[in-house]
Amino acid sequence: MTSSCRILSVVNQKGGVGKTTTAVNLATAMAAVGKHVLVVDADPQGNASTGFGFARSERGAGCYELMFDGMSVEELARPTLVPNLSIITSSADLAGAEIQLVTTERRESRMKDALDRSAKDYDVIFIDCPPSLNLITLNALVASHGVMIPLQPEFYALEGVSSLLQTIEAVRERFNPTLDIQGVVLTMYDRRNSLSDAVSKDVRAYFGDKVYETVIPRNVRVSEAPSYGKPVLLYDLRCSGSRAYMQLASEVLRREMGLLGGGLSAEAAEA
Ligand SMILES: Nc1ncnc2c1ncn2[C@@H]1O[C@H](COP(=O)(O)OP(=O)(O)OP(=O)(O)O)[C@@H](O)[C@H]1O
Ligand SMILES: [Mg+2]
């Protein structure tokens, strides 16, 4: 792996908070500014795969084979509609992986071992995690440099966050000392709902400057895009959701640039 490849997991054990939407669209926005991007769909639900147009029947070998069958990133990565962006899809057998991992050797490091062997071709790898702090998510955290936490600003937004933070801390202590929270992104933000505003303030008070300035608005185009098998940036480039994900990408790149000592180009971060 080149030293400049950054692996980011998109994690929240709460379901439906915008993990997959963020992984798919942030990855697309980064590819659009010329980064070489890989998405790993580590969720047996396979929504990131569907979001890039890979229906269940068309998936073949994917994340399961990466973790268990010794297949390489090169063998498994498939090009998408988006230039510079490949995906390792979810695969049928991934649903059983959780149980299989329990008795597997190096059970928390399978994904790291696979990505370390052959991630050299990418600038950024996003791992879309399932809504659970299970062994697949643990594998993603062990493999990652940073964690992105999408939060939907609703009444229970911070519920469960402490177990997520404890998990991150445990991974840092036992397996991956440099694991960091890349950032927290507020998703499905509804400006007409005063609760969005109130909860966002709480989230900013709790996480401080880990929370990105960019918030992703609730936007119907974002939710329509997956049914066309496209990221929203391809479906409707000018809608508010697409613009927000482009802006988020530049914020993420700016943070990453700080970490890499200027390894990512300044134009890309400004684009
Ligand atoms: N900004 C947005 N505006 C409107 N709808 C959105 C937005 N972001 C996500 N959605 C919709 O909300 C639903 C949940 O989003 P998503 O699948 O990204 O969440 P998730 O956290 O990955 O869910 P899961 O936990 O099941 O994996 C989807 O139907 C998605 O299209
Ligand atoms: Mg998802």
Determine if ligand 1 sits within 6 Å of the CB of residue 79.
Answer: no
pLDDT-based confidence at 146, cuts 50/70/90? very high
Ion ligand 2 neighbours (CB, 5 A) are 19-20, 47
Ligand positioned closest to the Cα atom of 220: 1
Domain ranges for the chain: 6-270
Q: Which residues contact 260 (CB under 8 A, 6 or more apart)?
A: 4, 6
pLDDT of 259 reads 65
| DSSP helix/strand/coil, 137 | helix
Kindly state which CATH superfamily the domain 6-270 is placed in: P-loop containing nucleotide triphosphate hydrolases (3.40.50.300)
DSSP state for residue 262 in the 8-state scheme: S
pLDDT digits (tens, 9 = 90+) for 206-238: 999 999 999 999 999 999 999 999 999 999 999
Question: Residue 21 CA: which ligand 1 atom is closest?
Answer: 18
Residue 82, phi then psi, degrees to nearest 5 = -90, 120
- Six-digit token string for 85: 């962006």
Burial of residue 3 (number of CB atoms within 10 Å: 0-12, 13-18, 19+)? exposed
d(CA 265, CA 243) in angstroms, rounded, equals: 21
241 CB within 6 A, ligand 1: yes
Model confidence, pTM: 0.94
**How many whole angstroms separate alpha carbon 69 and alpha carbon 91?**
12
Tell me the pLDDT tens digit for each residue of 40-73.
Answer: 999 999 999 999 999 999 898 999 999 999 999 9
Closest-CA residue, ligand 1 atom 5, reads 223
Ligand nearest the Cα atom of residue 49: 2
Residue with tokens 């697949």: 136
Per the prediction, the chain carries an average pLDDT of: 92
Residue-level pLDDT at 200: 94
Q: Is 96 in the pocket of ligand 1 (CB under 6 A)?
A: no
Say which residues have a Cβ less than 8 Å from residue 190's Cβ, sequence separation at least 6: 153, 196, 217, 218
Strand partners, 147: 9, 181
**What is the structure's pLDDT at 3?**
60
